[in-house]
Structure 1
Amino acid sequence: MARRREVLVAGASALALPAMAQAKPIRLIVPYPPGGPLDIVARALAEAVKDSLGTVVVDNRPGAGGNLGADLAAKSAPDGNTIVMGAVATHAINPWLYAKLPYDPLRDFTPLTGVAQVPNVLVMNPATADRLGVRGVADLMAYAKANPGKLNYGSGGNGSAGHLAGEMFKAQAGVFMVHIPYAGGNPAQLALLAGQVDLNFDNLAAASANIKAGKLRALAVTTAKRSPVMPEVPAIAEAGGPLAGFDIHTWFGLFGPAGLPAEVTQRLNHAFVAALGTPELKARLAGLMAAPMPTTPEQFAAFVKAELAKYEGVVKRSGAKAD
């Protein structure tokens, strides 16, 4: 009898294996082109969770500033088979930047977990900084107050993270600087290196090599606290006064469609949070000048809601529009 029971159990296990093998792979939509930070991290995450979640296929769907890929995920079945790597652009900036958005950033998604955050950094050409007597944020604010409209800053375009960081700085510091948009972050950085603009609020990952080489001077990072990947650079908030609460940064995280069952949400959250805690993922993020941002679904939902509210004023003050 015992022998017969062993055979039956073995047979049941054999039947279960093909079912597991035929489980539908999870599609992880990245709403940006291959090769960028979100894509790199998405592929590392897909590899890290394969033992707990099975196959995760990264699907790049760029277009409309990330809106196309985000909308595709929002309109997918809420079964856990399609998720998206959303970002500050898709869920906090674009809703105010675009006159018509095909999705609602809060109602149409189930937040799963934050993934990472990357500071922007306030940088100047060292020759320009020395000529103006600017050694830090306090000096910059004093010069800008005494010389309204004489400073300019470059960015990767209207509505870009660098543009909006500059607008937030102007509003909180009570200064006026001229914004000069370029067709992307690289042209903006080249203009700064050439002395064609006075300062930029650049992505830390993009600016780090020139900072380390002494070609750019980092005055401060834009996050509330110093970045662990470049701890010697102060935060803008350390200047105190009207800038004490300054906090703006690039972030990205995982979302499912609205209506995702609680047990599926928890399963995905646990798998991706565990992956973010591994040495391999931490090292990959550090190489991108990013810090891990694991959260519970509830924490991430509250964070996204707060970011959306924050950027409403920032985008409206900037006057930036996209169609």
Structure 2
Amino acid sequence: TPVRFMAQKLGERLGQPIIVDNKPGAGGSLGSSLVARAPADGYTVLVGNTGSNAINYTAYQKLTYKAEDFTPLTDMISFANVLVVPVKSPIKSLKDLVTAAKRAPGQLAFSSAGVGQTTHLMGELLRQSAGVDVVHVPYKGSAPATMAIVAGETQFMFDNLTGSLGHVRDGKLRALAVTGATREPELPDVPTMTELGMKDFDKVGWMGFFVPAKTPPAVVKKLTDNLVAVLQDPAVVQRYRELGGRPGGMASEQFSKIVERDRQDWGDLIRSQKLQLD
């Protein structure tokens, strides 16, 4: 995984082992709440993501942590979502998809990796932006959601690029568009949603590093500098590219702005579409 590879390289740089402690559950909120309450000494770092550290603040009313509990350090890796349809689908473009959805309200379904995931919210954003009536079919994780679209059980999906790239290359899925501000190097001929006239789709899913809010500035700087140095390691860059992701390492201020923007934008969508999860 991106995290374990990063931990190995960071450990080599710091000369001490880095322990990766997986805390799955509740959309990443379990691990986040543990780090929010951890000693602010730089020895406990959260690998958060768009779900745990942007979407969850609005999706879950009973969250046991808040945005102010963390200091963002830098992003680790980011992934675009790719709008895909089964290769046998008559839908050849975003325009075709919107036309088909308007022609048959409530008939087109999209799969997601679960309620509240970016694969779900991108579909809801299309519903809102294009004014279409489509059906959301959540699956338990990315792999079954991707297999559903490959099998034609659903009609479209905003899949994580990592999940669909192999199937696009193998000719099982057709890529219509990607999210994010720029085209993806792995799919250079596939336009962005923004190019196709859909605003608000300039977002990507990200994973990034956070520490408890009261961590001393000198510790924050040392951690961030070391993380950024590792993220610029050619071996890390190559591995993350192979995964279909973009290696991180942006300045803390820039990453903080992206985290806050996503918190506000996804929060607005969740409130307007009444998508709260508890």
Contact residue 224 and residue 245 of structure 1 kept, 8 A: no
Between the aligned partners of 1:279 and 1:82, the Cα distance in structure 2 is: 26
- Higher fraction of helix: 1
CA distance in 1, matches of 2:152, 2:271: 29
Query: What is the correspondence of 1:26-175 to structure 2 with a 5 Å cutoff?
Result: 40-55=1-16, 56-105=18-67, 107-128=68-89, 130=90, 134-175=91-132
For 1:191 and 1:52, how far apart are their aligned partners in 2?
A: 42
Deviation at 1:215, TM superposition (A): 0.8
- Residues 1:296 and 2:258 aligned together: no
Distance 1:180 1:80 in 2: 40
Q: Find 1:252's aligned residue among 207, 213, 218.
A: 207
Take 1:301 and 1:125, find their aligned partners in 2: how far apart are those partners?
A: 37
Counterpart CA distance in 1 for 2:142 and 2:5 is 24
Q: Report the count of equivalent residues.
A: 277
1:231 Cα deviation after fit: 2.0
Structure 1: any 5+ residue segments left out of the alignment? Answer: 1-39
Q: 1:236 aligns with which of 172, 179, 193?
A: 193
Q: Deviations over 1:56-81 (max 9, x none)?
A: 22121222221111111111111111
Q: Shift of the alpha carbon at 1:155?
A: 1.5
- CA offset digits 1:75-104 (Å, max 9, x no partner): 111111111101001111111111211110
User: What CA distance in whole angstroms lies between the structure 1 residues aligned with 2:145 and 2:20?
Assistant: 30
Deviations along 1:104-131, one digit per CA (max 9) or x if unpaired, are 02x1011111111111111101222x2x
Q: Is the 8 A contact 2:51 2:116 kept in 1?
A: no
Give % identity: 39
| Match runs of 1:199-278 below 5 Å | 199-240=156-197, 243-278=198-233
* Structure 2: stretches of 5+ with no match in the other structure: none
Moved over 6 A (4+): none
- The TM-score normalised by the length of structure 2 is 0.93
Q: CA deviation at 1:51?
A: 4.6
Aligned pair in 2 of structure 1 residues 174, 260: CA closer, same or farther (>3 Å)? same
Contact preservation (8 Å) 1:164, 1:318:
no
| Equivalent position SS for 1:289 | coil
Pairwise CA RMSD: 1.7
Higher relative contact order (CA 8 A, sep 6+): 2
